[in-house]
C-alpha cells in the first residue's frame, strides 16, 4: 500500500463515481472493499461521499445528474488546469467542462480526448486526491480502452509527456509510463466492441475469487472473469447500477 501527500504532474490521482442510487452503491462497494464512507455536504444540497482505507481517502461517489449514466471518472493531476485544458483543445480534444473551482479543494476540467474517452484534469489546492493507492480498496491502475491507439498515443504524449510501451503477449496492450514509472495502461477496442472509448478504473483487492462471488451475490456482474497477467490477476465487472470497474490482485508498486 502506498501513501501519498502529493501527486506529480501527469499522474492519476483520483477516481469518483457518478451513480443513479447513492445508498445502494455505497452498500455495494463498502461490502466489497470494506471502505469507510463519509458523506460530505456540497453546494445545492448535494452530497459527495468520500471513501477511505485505513482512514485515508481512496475515492468518492455522488448522485448522478438526470440522464447521466453511472460511471467512474479518472482524474490526472496537473499544475495548471487552465493551460492544460487549452493545450488539450489545441491537440484535438473537447473541453466538456471548462475549468472551474471546486470550493477550496482544487480546480478541475473535463476533457474528451480525440478518440472519445473522457477524463478529468485536477489542480490540487487543499485536496491532493487519493491519500492511499496500490493496495486493497485503493486505486491501482487506469486503463484507456480506445478504438484509435495511435492517435491516443500522440495526444497523451504531447499533452502529459506519457511514454507508451507495447507489452509482449497474445493480446495487444501498452504500458503507459511517466518517466520510468508505470502510470496507466492502454488496450485497443475490437472493431465489434459495443463499448465506446473510455478510461477503466482498477482497484486493488486481496481476494479476487471472493470478490467475484461478492459482486455476483450483491447484484453486480462479472463481465471478464479472473484472468492471469504478469504480476497477478484481474477481472472486470459492473456494479448493480451499471458502472464498469476492474479489480487487480497481485504485485503492487509502492
Domain-embedded: residue 14 = yes
Number of domains in the chain: 2
Domain co-membership, 82 together with 158: no
19-35: average pLDDT: 96
SS (H, E, C) the chain: CEECCCCCCCCEEEEEEEECCHHHHHHHHHHHHCCEEEEEEECCCEEEEEEEECCEEEEEEEECCCCCCCEEEEEEECCCHHHHHHHHHHCCCEEEEEEEEECCCEEEEEEECCCCCEEEEEEECCCCCCCEECCECCEEEEEEEECCHHHHHHHHHHHHCCEEEECCCCCCCEEEEECCEEEEEEEECCCCCCCCCEEEEEEECCCHHHHHHHHHHCCCEEEEEEEEECCEEEEEEECCCCCEEEEEEECCCC
Domain-embedded: residue 233 = yes
Tens digit of each residue's pLDDT (9 = 90 or more) over 140-150: 999 999 999 99
Choosing from 64, 98, 124, the residue where a domain stops is: 124
pLDDT attached to residue 191: 80
Domain-embedded: residue 131 = no
Choosing from 69, 104, 124, the residue where a domain stops is: 124
How does residue 229 score in pLDDT terms, banded at 50, 70 and 90?
A: confident
Domain-embedded: residue 129 = no
Give residue 90's domain range. Answer: 2-124
Domain co-membership, 192 together with 150: yes
Amino acid at each position: 500500500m502506498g501513501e501519498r501527500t502529493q501527486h506529480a504532474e501527469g499522474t492519476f490521482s483520483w477516481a469518483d463515481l457518478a451513480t443513479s442510487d447513492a445508498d445502494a452503491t455505497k452498500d455495494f462497494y463498502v461490502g466489497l472493499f470494506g471502505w469507510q464512507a463519509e458523506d460530505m455536504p456540497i453546494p445545492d444540497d448535494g452530497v459527495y461521499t468520500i471513501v477511505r482505507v485505513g482512514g485515508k481517502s481512496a475515492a468518492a461517489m455522488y448522485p448522478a445528474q438526470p440522464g447521466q449514466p453511472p460511471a467512474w471518472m479518472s482524474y490526472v493531476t496537473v499544475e495548471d488546469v487552465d493551460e492544460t485544458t487549452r493545450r488539450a483543445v489545441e491537440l484535438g480534444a473537447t473541453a466538456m467542462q471548462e475549468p472551474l473551482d471546486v470550493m477550496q479543494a482544487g480546480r478541475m476540467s473535463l476533457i474528451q480526448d480525440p478518440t472519445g474517452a473522457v477524463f478529468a484534469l485536477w489542480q490540487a489546492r487543499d485536496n491532493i486526491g487519493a491519500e492511499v493507492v496500490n493496495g486493497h480498496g485503493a486505486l491501482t491502475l487506469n486503463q484507456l480502452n480506445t478504438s484509435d491507439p495511435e492517435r491516443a498515443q500522440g495526444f497523451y504524449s504531447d499533452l502529459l509527456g506519457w511514454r507508451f510501451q507495447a507489452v509482449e503477449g497474445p493480446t495487444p496492450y501498452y504500458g503507459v509510463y511517466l518517466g520510468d514509472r508505470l502510470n496507466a495502461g492502454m488496450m485497443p477496442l475490437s472493431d465489434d466492441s459495443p463499448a465506446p472509448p473510455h478510461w477503466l478504473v482498477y482497484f486493488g483487492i486481496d481476494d479476487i475469487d471472493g470478490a467475484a462471488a461478492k459482486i455476483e451475490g450483491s447484484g453486480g456482474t462479472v463481465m471478464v472473469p479472473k484472468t492471469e497477467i504478469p504480476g497477478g490477476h484481474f477481472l472486470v465487472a459492473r456494479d448493480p447500477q451499471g458502472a464498469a470497474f476492474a479489480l487487480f490482485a497481485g504485485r503492487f508498486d509502492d
